[in-house]
Amino acid sequence: MDAVVKAVIEAIHASPTHAVLYLSGGGSQALGWLLSVPRASGTVLEVTVPYSRASMVQLLGKVPEQYVCRETADAIAMAAYNRALKLSMPGMPVAGIGLTGALASVPPKRGDHRCHLSARTQTGLWHYDLTLAKGYRDRVGEDLVTSRMVVKSLADVCGVSMGIPLELKEGTERLTEQRWSYSEEEQLEQLLNGQICMISFSSSADMTGSRRIILSGSFNPLHDGHVKLLEVACSLQEGTMPCFEISAINADKPPLGLGDVKDRVKQFRNIGKNLVLTNQPYFYKKAELFPDSTFVVGVDTAIRLMNPKYYGESKTRMLEVLLGIHQQGCDFMVAGRKVNGRFKVLSDIDIPAEVQHMFQAIPENLFYSDLSSTALRQKTR
């Protein structure tokens, strides 16, 4: 690693962006460079080398039409970006880097020696397409060029203005670059059609904490009871980040449209609170999106979580699902609520001994609210 590369990586590590890198067929030296410069943990969330065909198919969830092409690089970067969202805290700027390459090998390749790299963030997409001169470098030399390209892409997504030369052979080697920016409406459409798994809208005031406390709901409308409940839940655990979550897909209602989502987001912006939009209505899926988190629920939701009816009338399946949530590092805080005209709390629920450790009661003296979004909507009408 030369001094220029090291200086660029130091600037990358000084930025707030965290990244997941999926690299196949090139860029391997970049991993050593990134991890050998101090503060690497402030940038690198995870690195995977999906080198075999089976590994690539598992990563993408399909067999790509071509393994080394622009479309596959985009798909790898999208997978890396979604993985970065799951591994980071809400509001943290993240990036997914996806590279696929065909470099010098034995026996020699018939086609071009080339590399395609995509870098995805919440607001943008970068393309880098590199063609190398066959026979000009050995495999290590070609990997060196693609490794510099990996560092260059990270510098670009982190907003680092320092350049990094690729040292291409003039006239026979070329790098083409393109960048697209996504509007907020385009991001929302990508969420609604399932391309991305979540979008964060964050308040800088609530960016501290190492564990997420998440209150999920439709918030139609958001009211003071919601805000107070999340504040109380966070007061019961130190070092936590409060976060509201809305799923655009509801298990019992039609999916939200673009206009509905915009209206819900506006509510949280107006009061400066963290919000994450997802497309997962079930808690076992939310646990995959938010590992190492605590979910705040009302006792009515806790009752449904304990009902075998929602698990094909199988208590065994119910325990499997709940323990699967626990394996993701997640648990629940339960607030009292009126159910069929009677105020109920966690102790009113029969919780199997196998999962009792996953549920903590929010004391009634700390939180009691009769506010209801449904009642507020009816009053407004």
pLDDT digits (tens, 9 = 90+) for 132-151: 999 999 999 999 999 999 99
Query: Is pLDDT at 104 greater than 60 in this prediction?
Result: yes
Instruction: Tell me how far apart the alpha carbons of residues 311 and 218 are, in angstroms, rounded to a whole number.
Output: 23
State how far the alpha carbon of 308 is from the alpha carbons of 14, 232, 312, 352, in Å: 50, 30, 7, 12
Query: Is pLDDT at 381 greater than 60 in this prediction?
Result: no
Instruction: Tell me how far apart the alpha carbons of residues 275 and 255 are, in angstroms, rounded to a whole number.
Output: 18
Instruction: Tell me how far apart the alpha carbons of residues 208 and 54 are, in angstroms, rounded to a whole number.
Output: 39
Domain with CATH 3.90.950.20 in the chain: 3-182
Nearest to 214 by CA among 278, 267, 153, 144: 278
72: number of CA atoms within 13 Å, CB side? 23
Buried b (16+ CB within 10 A) or exposed e, 145-163: bbbbbbbbbbbbbbebeee
* Tens digit of each residue's pLDDT (9 = 90 or more) over 223-265: 999 999 999 999 999 888 899 999 998 877 788 899 999 999 9
For domain 3-182, say whether CATH 3.50.50.60 is its number. Answer: no
CATH fold label, 186-380:
Rossmann fold (3.40.50)
Please state, rounded to an integer, the average pLDDT across all residues of the chain.
Answer: 91
Share of the chain above pLDDT 70, in %: 95
Which residues face 20 on adjacent strands?
46, 96
Task: Please spell the DSSP secondary structure of 337-365, one letter per residue.
Answer: EEETTEEE-GGGS---GGGGGGEEE--TT
pLDDT of residue 87: 92
Domain with CATH 3.40.50.620 in the chain: 186-380
pLDDT of residue 198: 93
Q: Which helix (H) or strand (E) holds 151?
A: helix 139-158
DSSP 27: -
Cis peptide bond N-terminal to 165, omega within 30? no
* Tens digit of each residue's pLDDT (9 = 90 or more) over 273-315: 999 999 999 999 999 999 999 999 999 999 999 999 889 999 9
State how far the alpha carbon of 306 is from the alpha carbons of 138, 158, 299, 321, in Å: 61, 45, 11, 11
Give me the mean pLDDT over the 21-38 stretch: 96
Instruction: Give the Cβ contact number of residue 178 at 10 Å.
Output: 9
List the structure tokens of 200: 């964060």
* Tens digit of each residue's pLDDT (9 = 90 or more) over 320-377: 999 999 999 999 999 998 888 888 999 999 999 999 999 999 998 888 876 665 554 5
State how far the alpha carbon of 190 is from the alpha carbons of 47, 77, 127, 235, 367, in Å: 25, 15, 18, 35, 37
